[in-house]
C-alpha cells in the first residue's frame, strides 16, 4: 500500500488505526531506492520474520542529508518504483512522508512524525545496513533517535561489525540496537544503474515491472 499527502496537505499516513491488534511492531526501511532491488526486499522480509514485525514501511527519502550533492531519479519515480516492487506483499507499505517534506531529510524528524501518528503502544524499528553503522553518531540528534525507535542492523555473511560497534560504544553508548543476518545477495542500486546505462539486463536483480517502468521513463540512460 502506498501512502502520501492529498492536495490539501492532509497527511494520509494511516498506519495502524484500522487494526484491532493493540500493539503493533512496525519496521521502517529508509533509502533513496534508486532503484529499489531484490536486496531491499529481502532485507525487509528478513527483518519482518526474524523480529515478528507486523508491517514494513518503505520510507522513500526526499533530500537525504548524506546525499545532498548526488544526482538521483525524481522522488516521484523512486516512490512509484517502490509501490510497484512491493505491491504483492500485504505486509509492505510505501510512504512519501519524507518526499512530501520540504528541505533536507533527517531520520529524527521522520521518526517524530511517525511516532505522533501512531498509537502510543506501537513500537517502531528502524532498519539499516551494517555499513552505515559507523556513521550513525553523525546523524542529526542521533542521541534522541532511540526515544522513538530501536535499530535493527542488517549484516552480511562475513561482514566485520567490530569497527562500527567500537564507534557506537565510544560516541553513542546509549544506542539500542539488534543485528540480524541477511542472505548473501551481491546487488546494489549503483550496479543496477550502471547496467541500465550499459544496456545490460537487470532481470532477477529488480522486478520486471520496476525495470519496465525505469526503461519507459528513461531514468538511467
Distance in angstroms (rounded) separating the CA atoms of residues 95 and 98: 8
Res. 5: pLDDT tops 60: no
pLDDT for the residue 16: 38
Give the angle subtended at the CA of 212 by the CAs of 208 and 213, to the nearest 5°: 120
Res. 125: pLDDT tops 90: yes
Location of C-alpha cell 542521533: 142
CB 50 within 8 A of CB 17: no
pLDDT range class, residue 12, cuts 50, 70, 90: very low
Q: What is the model's pTM?
A: 0.86
pLDDT range class, residue 221, cuts 50, 70, 90: confident
Domain boundaries, the chain: 22-186
CB 100 within 8 A of CB 136: no
| DSSP class of 78 | H
Distance in angstroms (rounded) separating the CA atoms of residues 135 and 125: 18
Distance in angstroms (rounded) separating the CA atoms of residues 67 and 117: 27
pLDDT for the residue 1: 77
Res. 85: pLDDT tops 80: yes
Half-sphere exposure of 94 (CA within 13 A, CB side): 26
pLDDT range class, residue 95, cuts 50, 70, 90: very high
Residue length of the chain:
221
Fold annotation for 22-186? Rossmann fold (3.40.50)
Spatial CA neighbour of 44 closest among 131, 108, 125: 125
pLDDT for the residue 15: 42
CB 168 within 8 A of CB 136: yes
The three cell numbers locating residue 181: 543476518
pLDDT range class, residue 72, cuts 50, 70, 90: confident
Distance in angstroms (rounded) separating the CA atoms of residues 59 and 96: 7
pLDDT for the residue 193: 95
pLDDT range class, residue 62, cuts 50, 70, 90: confident
Amino acid at each position: 500500500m502506498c501512502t502520501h499527502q492529498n492536495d490539501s496537505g492532509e497527511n494520509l499516513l494511516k498506519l495502524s488505526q484500522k487494526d484491532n491488534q493493540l500493539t503493533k511492531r512496525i519496521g521502517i526501511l529508509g533509502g533513496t531506492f534508486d532503484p529499489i532491488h531484490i536486496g531491499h526486499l529481502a532485507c525487509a522480509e528478513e527483518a519482518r520474520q526474524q523480529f515478528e514485525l507486523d508491517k514494513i514501511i518503505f520510507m522513500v527519502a526526499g533530500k537525504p542529508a548524506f546525499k545532498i550533492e548526488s544526482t538521483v531519479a525524481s522522488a516521484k519515480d523512486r516512490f512509484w518504483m517502490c509501490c510497484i516492487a512491493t505491491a504483492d506483499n500485504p505486509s509492505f507499505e510505501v510512504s512519501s512522508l519524507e518526499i512530501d517534506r520540504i528541505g533536507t531529510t533527517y531520520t529524527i524528524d521522520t521518526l517524530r512524525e511517525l511516532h505522533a501518528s501512531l498509537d502510543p503502544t506501537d513500537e517502531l524499528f528502524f532498519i539499516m545496513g551494517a555499513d552505515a553503522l559507523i556513521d550513525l553518531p553523525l546523524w542529526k540528534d542521533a542521541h534522541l533517535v532511540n526515544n522513538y525507535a530501536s535499530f535493527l542492523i542488517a549484516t552480511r555473511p562475513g561482514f566485520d561489525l567490530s569497527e562500527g560497534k567500537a564507534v557506537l560504544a565510544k560516541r553513542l553508548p546509549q544506542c539500542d540496537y539488534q543485528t540480524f543476518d541477511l542472505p548473501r545477495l551481491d546487488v546494489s542500486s549503483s550496479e543496477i544503474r550502471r547496467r541500465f546505462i550499459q544496456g545490460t539486463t537487470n532481470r532477477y536483480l529488480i522486478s520486471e515491472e520496476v525495470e519496465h517502468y525505469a526503461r519507459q521513463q528513461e531514468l538511467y540512460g
